[in-house]
Structure 1
Amino acid sequence: MVFDVKKYLLNKPEAVEAFPFGPEVAVYKVRDKIFALIGMENNEVRINLKCDPAEAEQLRMVFDAVLPGYHMNKKHWNTVIINGSIPDSEVKRMIDNSYALIVKKLGKSAAQLLLK
């Protein structure tokens, strides 16, 4: 992994890291709404990200390292295996998209403030 995923997540406006499920799963929230979860499985970093349902399906077809969201609503969440097979720019785009989808649900004023 060329870029630091956790650092990238925490650089999002008002993003916070929590461990409500124990020390093995980091949860990233904006205003108490989850936009990402990170865990390890088989010595690989895996990140769950929210996604538009149609795009979620497309990403799963394009990338072997994109799976239906583990322990999440599989229609709206993907699990992305960070193993170098997906370009960093694409992983960042997926993170940005997940964050934006959650922020937009917070309301228009929050979206205007957080999605500058």
Structure 2
Amino acid sequence: MNGRKLQDVAREVAEELPASTMGHPFGPEYEVFKVSGKVFMLLTEVPGEPVVVLKADPEDSEALRQQHSDITPGYHMNKRHWITLAPGQTVDPGLVRELVTESYRLVVAGLPRADQPVDPERFGIAEEDG
């Protein structure tokens, strides 16, 4: 998958998530997606190549990096809790959709219950089972 397609798929998923907002708090070169004020995805270029930066469970993050050469530690983020998806052969649109949704769920789970727009334990699960 090329870089523009990678970012387009990620952006499309993020825009459909409840209470998701996008802004440019770090400058025009970063599209930053938040839920209730907390970052769950960044779109940027490293160096000149479009990438997607997402939150990930540390154990999942390690496994993903071992299985996919196009997934590396988070660019300019905590390397244990964030991953970077780069264009290439090992990341497909389905995986991008799954990882964006999981990043969102992880961030929502860390919010106070009153600020959670969805139940992070159940959000997206019915879609996968259906």
How many angstroms does 1:112 deviate by? 2.5
SS at match of 1:115: coil
How many angstroms does 1:46 deviate by? 0.6
Is 1:85 matched with 2:90? yes
Q: Cα gap change, 1:11/1:84 in structure 2, threshold over 3 Å: closer, same or farther?
A: farther
Moved more, 105-114 or 6-15: 105-114
Q: 1:112 aligns with which of 103, 112, 119?
A: 119
Moved more, 58-67 or 102-111: 102-111
Equivalent residues in 2 for 1:6-85 (5 A)?
6-85=11-90
**What's the TM-score once normalised by structure 2's chain length?**
0.79
Contact 1:47 / 1:82 at 8 angstroms: preserved in 2? no
Q: Which runs of 5+ in 1 are unaligned?
A: none
How far does the alpha carbon of each residue in 1:8-58 deviate from its partner, in whole angstroms, 9 at most, with x for none?
Answer: 211110100010111001100000000000002344321110001011001
Instruction: Name the counterpart of 1:103.
Output: 108
Q: Which runs of 5+ in 2 are unaligned?
A: 125-130
Q: d(CA) in 1 for partners of 2:47 and 2:77?
A: 19
Contact 1:48 / 1:78 at 8 angstroms: preserved in 2? yes
Q: d(CA) in 2 for partners of 1:96 and 1:54?
A: 17
Q: d(CA) in 2 for partners of 1:48 and 1:4?
A: 13
Instruction: Name the counterpart of 1:5.
Output: 10
How many angstroms does 1:68 deviate by? 0.5
* Number of equivalences: 116
Q: Which has the higher contact order (CA 8 A, sep 6+)?
A: 2
